[in-house]
Amino acid sequence: PFPREMGWCHTLAAGTLLIFSFSCRYMYHVLTKNTTVTDHNRNLLVETIRSITQILIWGDQNDSSVFDFFLEKNMFVFFLNILRQKSGRYVCVQLLQTLNILFENISHETSLYYLLSNNYVNSIIVHKFDFSDEEIMAYYISFLKTLSLKLNNHTVHFFYNEHTNDFALYTEAIKFFNHPESMVRIAVRTITLNVYKVDNQPMLHYIRDKTAVPYFSNLVWFIGSHVIELDNCVQTDEEHRNRGKLSDLVAEHLDHLHYLNDILIINCEFLNEVLTDHLLNRLFLPLYVYSLVNQDKSCSIRDKCSFLSPVILNGDLSVFSSKSEQDVQKNSAKSSIRCFIKPTETLERSLEINKHKGKKRLQKRPNYKNVGEEEEEERGPEDVQEDLDKAKGTECSSKGVKTSGESEEIEMVIMERCKLSELSISAVTEQNTTDEEKSAAASGSEISNWNRPFLDMVYKAVDCAEDDYYALFVLCLLYAMSHNKGMDPFKLERIQLPAYHAEEKSSYNQVLAERLIRITNYAAQPDGKIRLATLELGCLLLKQLVVSKSGSIIKDVHLACLEVRIISGLFFLKGEEIFLDMFEDEYRSMTIKYLMMDASILLPPTGTPLTGIDFVKRLPCGDVERTRRAIRVFFMLRSLSLHLRDEPETQLPLTREEDLIKTDDVLDLNNSDLIACTVITKDGGQVQRFLAVDIYQMSLVEPDIARLGWGVVKFAGLLQDMQVTGVEDDSRALNIIIHKPASSPHSKPFPILQATFVFSDHIRCIIAKQRLAKGRIQARRMKMQRIAALLDLPVQPSNEVMGFGHNAASMSQHLPFRFYDQARRNSNDPTVQRSVFASVDKVPGFAVAQCINQPNPSPLSSPSPPSSGSGSTGHCDSVTASSASTPSATQSPSGTKSLHLAHNPVKNPEIETANLSPSLIPAQQPTISLISNDNTDALSVESLTLVPPVEPHSIHAFSCVPPSSLPSDNCTATEEDGSCRSQPADDDEQ
């Protein structure tokens, strides 16, 4: 079929070709007849141009002979002719659109060559359109962009003329680099990047020699102006009113930095050279680094810098390692003109003159100086001030006097080291290195702290007894420096700031470590003014500082200083129900993203949520937030402390997925309380299930066909998130909703179960309700106990609540549920079964109890059976067993209960194996119902979870029962008390 189809296609194509070549001729005719555009023929012309485009595209895809005709007749001449007649925007727009479409859709290189082969496209590019018309502007720049996407080593020759030094596509495009319309600016950036990407040496040389200086100096100026505006915005901010504008400016600035990064990673060596030279000497040094000296003012800019780092992170500029002393020399020689200066000519003019180097005169100084000084007055003495005086002295002299003496050099080194490195242009750092080496060699001594004012200042700023406004920036900076791939590890080594991937280290920067530790200490204090973001970054840095591949190398002294305990008074809501939910919710929502891209941190820290600033980036407001904050601080410090001690986290999160009963788990429900019910879901579905309540969860099971007395979990949900309500007109029914807590701040909690449970009678219903309600309370209490132990909160006299006083040892074998997951389902080997729980050598809950009882327990050191080890499920269960059992003994309303439940667990396996007859309907029979209906009802509330010690007489009771009816006595009392009317076996009972 294939060849035939092709043939058919071919015929069709031939047919269309005929039509097309006919219409081509017709259109040619139209064009020749209408060389002058008038109101009357305008539409006809536009239509003709459009049709020609369509035919050309068809030709590109089907038959290139169309192009011959097009070329032969010089159709582009007509286009140009039409354009040049000032034929109005309508025709202009149509023509540009047509050209767009044409170049966008031509896919064959040869077709493209055809179109480009005369210089007409370049003539169209340089045509003076009416750029004040936004539509023409948009179509024009899109046209250039489309062309730039077609650039490669071959096609570039159609645009760049080596002999005339013309590259209209590029030079015309960059004239719009600061166009007020953002989409136009973006298009210009795209075009430039597409040009730089083409690896054509003559073209790139042209770019560098004739255009790079004008373009880059203007670009740098443009960026710098934005930074100044941004800074003004921060400075003049009152009451955070500038936030909207600020975030736009920050985004804009980030765009610029991304753009610079994109240029740099194209890795065109000599372009990068010019660019980094401009960046360094006209932007980073004069505007960013020097401004650092005036501590206050720099803040905005400083963290700008920090922004920068992650941005340019990937800047792989190894090329620059080849840079030699000579470059450095050049650089330091130039240091006298390290000013942020506006280029004297407009870009356009510079391009025209093709000046290699536009003269930069200090015509005005819109640089940091002005801003900085008034700032100083405004802010007065900042803690850093004294320290900086010296620095400023040298700094000023270096600038003012323009000597490049030794002192200046060192100064530069330091500055660069502190600041520039984070600017993360490794070109810069590369230069630093050499610079530094040189100066180091010259001075012949180590650079001591004495002449490291910038570094000092950085460290000083980490100190945040008052607030962490600056500290956050510095931490960002340090973090960015250490994470920047472009940074030379050696350089970081000098300030003992290890790169995050550093393999080995034997010592660490103690000064910094101590300051970081101090941050953690402040954070743990009642009135600590540390924002969560600051703390988190501090913790990250500290970990990075002292943890190497082989483990933590932190000194004990320092470790001891780490404060993990939080004054319990900080947990304002600790007594309230909501505390547990908050605790778990906060645990889920840790981690801060995109910190440095957020404009809001530029403004002084604030406490009120009314600003719309993220919780983690401001101080808490009100008790709820203060509690949240305290909880988070606790999590971070705990994790930090564990990490530094190389200890695993065993306590958190409180509920671990893997410890929970999941759908399709198979549980051993022998001895468990089960209540039969009909579950009616919202959409009207109805299923028969048995309701079982475990420590933390309630589950709906159906009998396991393979094993009697076992059940397959069809649904499991956390008791703590459950709501139970009665149904008004049906005393046998309950409405049950279980919400899954939101996993991220963006998602809402949604109900994983929303159903009506209908029980066989209202007694069963009440039992279920009680059991669930109690279970919920128990589950929450359990968790609260664990939290209390973790947080070192005073515990309410809870012995009887949790029953720790109970001899739990005897309990450990009576696990409420024993379950296997799917994988283990087939193993009948009792030893396997045992082994799951075999690890219960320590009494679960006991440890926690101990914690609680100790006056000053260290949460870290307390073994935490519930979640440790592989048999964690078993542990978990056993905790319940032990804890839950107590209430029954001590506080259960009806004292009779405990007997009820007591089956002989030990016997179960035997019985089970003995009685097993899989063909029988499993477990439905209410064996014991005759014996003690009343009793069971009364006692049942806790029965599921509580497994009291085996009592002889209860065993008795049971042993008499089995003969009566049931295949297994593992359809225990529970089974009986919950058995539903709907089961066929019910009749027997009666």
Contact residues for another protein, defined by CB under 8 A? 16, 19, 23, 43, 47, 50-51, 54, 57-58, 61, 89-90, 93, 97, 100-101, 104-105, 135, 138-139, 142, 145-146, 149, 182-183, 185-186, 189-190, 193, 244, 248, 251-252, 254-255, 258-259, 261-262, 594
- Compute the least distance from the CB of residue 421 to another protein, in Å: 22
How far from chain centre, in Å, is Cα 358? 44
The one-letter amino acid code at 46 reads V
Please say which residue, 88 or 551, places its beta carbon nearer to another protein.
88
Q: For the chain, state the CA radius of gyration.
A: 39
Cα distance between residue 916 and residue 590, in whole Å? 50
Tell me the closest approach of the beta carbon of residue 183 to another protein, in angstroms.
Answer: 6
Nearer to another protein, 743 or 796 (CB): 743
Would you say 193 or 559 has its CB closer to another protein? 193
The residue (of 330 and 682) whose beta carbon lies closer to another protein is: 682
* Exposed / middle / buried, residue 950 (Cβ in 10 Å: 0-12, 13-18, 19+): middle
**Nearer residue to another protein within complex by CB, 50 or 157:** 50
Shortest Cβ distance from residue 196 to another protein (Å)?
10
To another protein, the closest distance from the beta carbon of 455 in angstroms equals: 32
Terminal-residue alpha carbon distance, the chain: 75
CB closer to another protein out of 252 and 730: 252
Q: How far is the CB of 61 from another protein (least distance, A)?
A: 7
Tokens 């009440």 locate to 766
Q: Is the Cα dihedral 437, 440, 442, 444 positive or negative?
A: negative
Nearer to another protein, 255 or 625 (CB): 255
Q: Write the DSSP assignment of 252-319 as a string of letters.
A: HHHHHHHHHHHHHHHT-HHHHHHHHHHIIIIIIIIIIIHHHHSHHHHHHHHHHHHHHHHHGGG---GG
CB of residue 186 vs another protein: minimum separation in angstroms? 5
Alpha carbon distance 5, 949 (integer Å): 84
Q: Least distance (Å) from another protein to the CB of residue 20?
A: 9
Reading phi first (left if > 0) and then psi (alpha if -120 to 50, else beta), residue 212 is in alpha
- Rounded distance between C-alpha atoms, residue 557 and residue 63, angstroms: 81
Cα separation, 96 vs 505, in Å, equals: 62
Q: Which lies closer to another protein via its Cβ, residue 26 or residue 490? A: 26
As given in the structure block, the two tokens for residue 620 are 């808490």
Q: Which is nearer to another protein, 190 or 885 (CB)?
A: 190
Which C-beta is closer to another protein: that of 193 or that of 795? 193
DSSP 8-state symbol, 73: T
In this complex, which beta carbon is closest to another protein, that of residue 142 or of residue 627? 142
CA pair distance 819, 837, nearest whole angstrom: 10
Q: How far is the CB of 32 from another protein (least distance, A)?
A: 19
- What is the C-alpha separation between 344 and 715, in angstroms, rounded? 74
Q: Are 876 and 659 in contact (CB under 8 A)?
A: yes
Nearest CB to another protein, comparing residues 254 and 758: 254
Q: Which CB atom, from 749 or from 918, has the smaller least distance to another protein?
A: 749
C-beta of 101 vs 889, nearer to another protein: 101
Q: How far is the CB of 432 from another protein (least distance, A)?
A: 26
> d(Cα 404, Cα 398) in Å, to the nearest integer?
7
Beta-sheet strands, E only, within 774-886: 818-820
Of the candidates 471, 572, 609, the residue with the CA atom closest to the CA atom of residue 530: 471
* Nearest one of 546, 533, 687 to 614, comparing CA atoms: 533
Please tell me the chain's helix, strand, coil percentages from 3-state DSSP, rounded to the nearest 5.
Answer: 60, 5, 35
- Tell which residue, 944, 280, 984, has the closest CA to residue 670: 944
* Complete DSSP assignment for 886-903: HHHHHT-SSTTHHHHH--
Supply the minimum distance, in Å, between the C-beta of residue 259 and another protein: 4
**Measured from the CB of residue 586, what is the shortest distance to another protein in angstroms?**
24
CA neighbor of 457 nearest in space, from 477, 443, 440: 477
What residues have CB less than 8 Å from 265, skipping those under 6 apart?
314, 315, 316
- Nearest approach, Cβ of residue 58 and another protein (Å): 6
- Judge contact between 196 and 274, C-beta under 8 A: no
- Supply the minimum distance, in Å, between the C-beta of residue 105 and another protein: 5
For the record, the structure tokens of 481 come out as 């420096």
Cα separation, 220 vs 283, whole angstroms = 7
How far is 965 from 949, CA to CA, in rounded Å?
26
Q: How far is the CB of 120 from another protein (least distance, A)?
A: 20
Nearest to 595 by CA among 285, 294, 316, 254: 254
